[in-house]
Structure 1
Amino acid sequence: MIPFKLKLLDKEREINLFYNFIMGNTDHFRDYMEVVPSFDEVKEEFLLDVPPGIDIKNKEVYGVYREENLIGFLDILFNYPESHTCMIGYLVIDQNYRKQGIGQQVYNHAVAYAKEKDMWKIRLSVIKENEPAVRMWKKQGFETIDEEVTEYGTQLMMEIRL
């Protein structure tokens, strides 16, 4: 097991580190298959974007660090889309560190933290064609509750009760 630490990402001081992580892991972001996002687009979409009417304070982005290197991140939005429900926007591990149990440990942290914050459910959306991700979330106990065709492909809305 590779040791790592999970801490809130400093959105101002670590934006360059975060941007470099995103650019090094474009395989995970099908949104950008045709256009490489700018620095400002990465900052806006991954660090500052929340649905209309939702306070930015409900969004927490954690960095996954090995020593001082950013090797992943977790984006989680609390009390969305309803009270006592949180939404995992992203759980991404650097392609060089995948299949080593880090993603599982980060997810376990997210579940424990969600319970501490009195969340009853976790939701997430995954591209249906991303079969490894769909399998992983099903293995965790997530069930598909909705399906929507978007410009990025068919999105599965998945949910688990805590």
Structure 2
Amino acid sequence: MILEDLQKKIPQYNIKEITEDIIEDVFKVMRSNGYYYSKIQQHDVTREECITDIKAVPPGIDYSKKTYIAFYEENKCIALVDFIEGYPNKQTGYLGLLMLDETLHRHGIGKKILENLLSVIKVEGFQYMELACYECNERGITFWNKMGFKEIRRSNRETDGKIYTLISMQREV
């Protein structure tokens, strides 16, 4: 439902569910984000990590609540969104990922996708959107603050033997 509603709101993009059939396109977008991955892990993103993300959901959440989609412009994958309905509670949608091809940052595309996603989930009855951003991802923190997200808590995550601080952020839809 979210995919179809987003497609109606922003018809200039061809929006596809992410499956292994388009994993190379997804991998290209992820690989283009060297800054992001250099901040959150000690190795380059791998194709296997991209495949694992297809089925990844928070503990206790059914896969049917996940919307994992790719945005195409002129047959080129330009953006990825991973969204979980009703997490961490029924009134909240969780944005696990909003990633653009790095060459398209600061062109208003991420803002446009986010604003339309917020509009769609509001109609679906959600009151809040939550996400987590790595504290060391200064560009991400700046973007999310500009989009109206506020810090609600902090937690730690270990990746590649290193501890990273995650800032959970939320905003009303």
Common fold by TM > 0.5 = yes
Q: What is the Cα-based RMSD across aligned positions, in Å? A: 2.0
The CA deviation at 1:8 is 3.1
Give the count of matched residue pairs: 159
Residue 165 of structure 2 aligns with which residue?
A: 154
The CA deviation at 1:30 is 4.2
Over the matched positions of the two proteins, sequence identity in percent amounts to 23
CA distance in 1: counterparts of 2:14 and 2:59, whole angstroms: 28
User: 2:168 is matched by which residue type in structure 1?
Assistant: M
Match for residue 133 of structure 2 among 120, 126, 129: 126
Question: TM-score, normalised to structure 2's length?
Answer: 0.82
The CA deviation at 1:24 is 2.9
Q: Is the 8 A contact 1:26 1:32 kept in 2?
A: no
CA distance in 2: counterparts of 1:37 and 1:65, whole angstroms: 21
Residue 95 of structure 2 aligns with which residue?
A: 88
Question: TM-score, normalised to structure 1's length?
Answer: 0.87
Q: Aligned pair in 2 of structure 1 residues 143, 56: CA closer, same or farther (>3 Å)? A: same
The CA deviation at 1:114 is 0.9
Residue 3 of structure 2 aligns with which residue?
A: none
Residue 106 of structure 1 aligns with which residue?
A: 113
Structure 2 gap segments, 5+ residues each: 1-10
Residue 23 of structure 2 aligns with which residue?
A: 15
1:58 aligns with 2:69: no
Structure 1 gap segments, 5+ residues each: none
Report the secondary structure of 1:63's partner residue.
Answer: strand
CA distance in 1: counterparts of 2:28 and 2:101, whole angstroms: 11
1:73 aligns with 2:80: yes
